[in-house]
Structure 1
Amino acid sequence: MLDLIRITENPEELKSMLKRRGFSQLEIVDKILEVQAKKKSIQTEAESLRSERNRVSKEIGVKKSKGEDISEVSESMKSVGEKIKSLEEKLEVEEINLQELNQSLPNFLDEEVPTGFSEEDNVELYKVGEKPKFDFPIKTHFEIGEELKIFDFERGVKLSGARAYTYFGLAAKLERALMNFMLDIHGKHGYEEVWVPQIVNDESMFTTGQYPKFKDEYYRMERDSLNLIPTAEVPLTNLYRDEILSEESLPICVTAHTSCFRREAGSYGRDTRGLVRVHQFQKVELVKFCKPEESKAEHKKMLADAENILKLLGLHYRVLLLCSKDTSGSSSKTYDLEVWMPGLNRYMEISSVSNFKDFQSRRGKIRYKSKTGKNILVHTVNGSGLAIGRTLAAIVENFQQKEGNFKIPEILNKYL
């Protein structure tokens, strides 16, 4: 959902952005302009009729005071009133059409986002740490976990079907330890911990950009018009939906631990074993509300906050700047953190840190009142800090031992 004034003043900018994102149906831009022109024409005609009705109403008043016949002019005004009502109904239809078109649009891309049309075009910015070296055959996290009897995928499938799992003993404790560790560290860096519902309404999913376009990709309870959250970004961002914040309160930085639920509808056949791609997982989320001129700096700070967790755990990772096609529709600019997985022999995404600018705040009407009294849309920034199951998998693979077990990062010992 974009600024319609910006679209009207520079439609070629929107077309260029859609091309960079790989959209083929550029006629949507012309359709938006067409609907806006139609709306303006209807509004102009309706205003003209209202002016005529007001003028004639005054004449009727004068004629009445003089005792003159007003039946003919009254009948003509009845016809004008019907025309105005008809135009108002047409205007409402065009407004709905315009909203539906606008709601289907992705966010404008930041100028620093590289143009690209596959994950191969994402730009690696830097790496931190070194890949671990082993003098024995490397195993995957699920092989190690199953041998230690701390991961049980068969029982997970028995309970919930494909892409489910259960933890026993040390794994369950490590999941809890990682949660507390991450929340404590982020709390020290200025994020206020919040507990939020993990079931949200459709308005919440609309604000963050999941609905209406991607409605089939999430778990939804049709009977109640409620949804299982795909990430705590949804309830955290919606904390201030339809609110006007004070300028002095910004930036607002919040964090929460929740379960996250994903249908993984487009992932058939990918990562079918292990903890990488599952229907339910735990995650610590970071969200910021800030002034527009501060969102770039706050985005970089959040990236550093997510990286800090990986550094404290001693995990090797790299940072990518996503290309135009790989950047999500709601995001203006996204950094991905990818941790090295020696057992899987590849890097694995463990956090996405995104600047949405005013895309979400426009949908959710999240504003702040400036010192001059003007209501301004905030910018929202969010990121994973981190995905806990994937972090656990990375610890198991990177710190595996010849004996078949794995070392636990020292910083987690006090949480066990």
Structure 2
Amino acid sequence: MFDIKWISANPEAFDAALATRGAEPLAASLIALDDDRRSVVAEMNAAQEKRNGASKLIGQAKAQKDEARAQELMAEVAGLKETLGQLEARERQLTEDLRAALSVIPNLPAQGVPVGEDETGNVPYFRTGESAETRPAKPNLAFAPKEHYELGEAMGGMDFETAAKLSGSRFVVLKGQIARLERAIGQFMLDLHVNEHGYTEVVPPYLVRDEAMYGTSQLPKFDGDFFFTPHGEGRLALIPTAEVPLTNLVREALLTQDELPLRFAALTPCFRSEAGSAGRDTRGMLRQHQFNKVEMVSITTPDQSDAEHERMLACAEEVLKRLGIHYRVMQLCTGDMGFGARRTYDIEAWLPGQNTYREISSVSVCGDFQARRMDARYRDANGKPQYVHTLNGSGVAVGRALIAVMENYQNEDGSISIPAALQPYMGAIEKIGG
């Protein structure tokens, strides 16, 4: 969500930034809509002032026993009351029209974000002093690696056929040692972020109101991408990510600067309709309607948000370093970033079975874009209310981490070695299957 005052003061910069995201110029139409609204407000104020003046004159006319003049003024006040009602209705409609127009505009990219139309414009990212050698190496497999679903089905731990009977496509039933491994991965990641990275563990609701989805910018633009269930006279959404409830923990809050940063983490199921992904990743667990994910959310001050973004990226990377999974980090270009992001880093894990990298985490800084939608603020050092900055990141997707572990730690006999970091969560066993 944007401040219309800022757009009015910077129309060319606003349109230029939108252009990098493939959007048409909108400043002129938004300013015109706001001008109409402000014009109506001016008419309301003038009418109210005139009404107040006429009301005072009624008292004077009655005191002077000038009933004719009093009746004339009363008729004028009645007319002004009707006019005010019409103007107030018009102002409410224009305010809602402006809010609706602003709510479907993507966030503006931060300075330095590469400009591009799609994922082909993304660029590799390394922090200062970092190199490829600081990340785990690719596994040196002496045999033709299999994909995760081949390994899982052969082991009897992945059942897509039964899941389809229960729920349809893009679901899976995990069983036995594979189910235990998936649970171990989630517990390991949550423990890491809570015990070592300083996040507060949260168990949030998995069903949220439209207002919460609006606050983190999933609605109204992407209404068709989610699952909803009727609730009373309205509906509730199944969370597509724990980002929604975690970020909304500060909804309509006025925090103190000393409280920030706030850091939350949760391990939750996520539900996505995957609208528009027909034909993509139809085999295996890469693109599911239901999956588990560890989510990290930070709430901070504007001057600390970029540093917090780098910190959050490092927290997500540490998961893959501990698991010994080779990965790369890509900085997303303007055309590939999510709707609410100012800057995004994607972590892509190496999958030997596919012989390619696949996204396993996305870490974004949103600036005050979500905070304006949620009315989430803090008092700065001068006591002035300011909007917080919000950040979110996968720390990481549990299902995709399971895929990465299975494919990177597979053995020629079909067994899967257990990374050392996960063995305490697996009863100290070193291998499953085979």
- 1:171 match: 178
What is the SS of the residue equivalent to 1:183?
A: helix
CA apart distance, 1:361 = 0.9
1:64 to 38, 56, 62: 62
Work out the CA distance in 2 between the residues paired with 1:158 and 1:72. 77
Tell me the equivalent position of 2:409: 399
Matched residues in 2 for 1:138 and 1:413: separation? Answer: 23
Query: For each residue in 1:101-153, what CA deviation from the matched residue of structure 2 results, as whole angstroms up to 9, or x when unmatched?
Result: 01111112101211000101001114433221221111111111111111111
> 1:117 maps to which residue?
117
Structure 2 residue identity aligned to 1:18: L
Which residue of 2 is the match for residue 49 of structure 1? 47
Code of the residue aligned with 1:145 in structure 2: it is G
SS for the counterpart of 1:357 is: coil
1:139 alignment counterpart: 146
Q: TM-score, normalised by structure 1?
A: 0.97
Give deviations 1:388-407, integer Å, cap 9, x for gaps.
11001101111111111121
Distance (Å, rounded) in 2 between the aligned partners of 1:58 and 1:288: 55
Q: Which SS does the other structure have where 2:417 is aligned?
A: coil
| Partner of residue 103, structure 2 | 103
Aligned to 1:35: 33
2:389 aligns with one of 379, 384, 400: 379
Name the CA distance, whole Å, in 2 between partners of 1:142 and 1:279: 17
User: Residue deviations 1:32-69, cap 9 Å, x none?
Assistant: 11111111111112211222222222222222222223
Following the alignment from structure 2 to structure 1, what is the Cα–Cα distance between the partners of residues 77 and 164? 71
Q: Deviations over 1:292-328 (max 9, x none)?
A: 1100000100000000000000010000100001011
Q: How many residues align?
A: 414
Aligned match for 1:251, one of 255, 258, 261: 261
Question: Could you say which residue in structure 2 is the equivalent of 1:180?
Answer: 187
Greater mean alpha carbon deviation, residues 388-397 or residues 65-74: 65-74
Contact 2:293 2:398 in 1 (8 A): yes
Q: Which whole-Å CA distance do the structure 2 matches of 1:346 and 1:359 have between them? A: 34
Mapped partners of 2:89, 2:208: distance in 1? 33
Partner Cα separation in structure 1 for residue 397 and residue 146 of structure 2: 21
- 2:399 is matched with which residue? 389
Counterparts of 1:77 and 1:177, CA distance in 2:
73
Deviates more, 1:348-357 or 1:49-58: 49-58
Query: How far apart, in 2, do the equivalents of 1:72 and 1:177 lie?
Result: 81
Q: Is the 8 A contact 2:8 2:27 kept in 1?
A: no
The answer to whether 1:353 aligns with 2:363 is yes
C-alpha distance in structure 2 between counterparts of 1:74 and 1:152, whole Å? 79
Partner residue in 2 for 1:77: 77
Task: For 2:331 and 2:394, locate their aligned partners in 1 and report how far apart those are by CA, in whole Å.
Answer: 15
Q: Which amino acid aligns with 2:15?
A: K
Q: Which amino acid aligns with 2:175?
A: F
Instruction: Give the match for residue 87 of structure 2.
Output: 87
Q: Deviations along 1:338-367, whole A, 9 cap, x unmatched? A: 000010111000000000111111101111
Deviates more, 1:39-48 or 1:74-83: 74-83
Percent identity between the two aligned chains:
43
- Per-residue Cα deviation, 1:177-201 (whole angstroms, up to 9, x for no partner): 1111111110121001011111111
1:305 aligns with 2:311: no
1:229 aligns with 2:239: yes
**Is 1:220 aligned to residue 218 of structure 2?**
no
Q: Which residue of 2 aligns with 1:281?
A: 291
Q: Distance in 1 between matches of 2:262 and 2:310?
A: 15
Show structure 2 runs of 5+ residues with no match. Answer: 127-131, 427-434
- Structure 2 letter corresponding to 1:191: Y
Amino acid of the structure 2 residue aligned with 1:322:
L
User: Which of residues 337, 341, 344 is equivalent to 1:334?
Assistant: 344
2: distance between equivalents of 1:346 and 1:274?
Answer: 15
Query: Partners in 1 of 2:251 and 2:425 — Cα distance?
Result: 35
Q: Amino acid of the residue matched to residue 139 of structure 2?
A: P
- Using the TM superposition, give the Cα deviation of residue 370 of structure 1 relative to its aligned residue in structure 2, in angstroms: 2.5
Contact 2:4 2:31 in 1 (8 A): no
**TM-score when scaled to structure 2?**
0.93
The code of the aligned residue for 1:372 comes to: N
Shift of 1:223: 4.8
Q: Does 1:16 align with 2:16?
A: yes
Report the 3-state secondary structure (helix = DSSP H, G, I; strand = E; otherwise coil) of the residue aligned with 1:132: coil
Q: Distance in 2 between matches of 1:161 and 1:341?
A: 26
1:204 aligns with 2:212: yes
CA RMSD, Structure 1 to Structure 2 (Å): 1.2
Distance in 2, matches of 1:150 and 1:160, equals 18
Aligned to 1:415: 425
Measure, in 2, the Cα distance between the counterparts of 1:151 and 1:15. Answer: 49
Question: What letter is aligned with 2:86?
Answer: S
- Counterpart residue type for residue 189 of structure 1: H
Which of 286, 290, 296 aligns to 2:306? It is 296
Displacement of 1:4 in angstroms is: 1.2
For 1:222 and 1:29, the matched residues in 2 are separated by 37
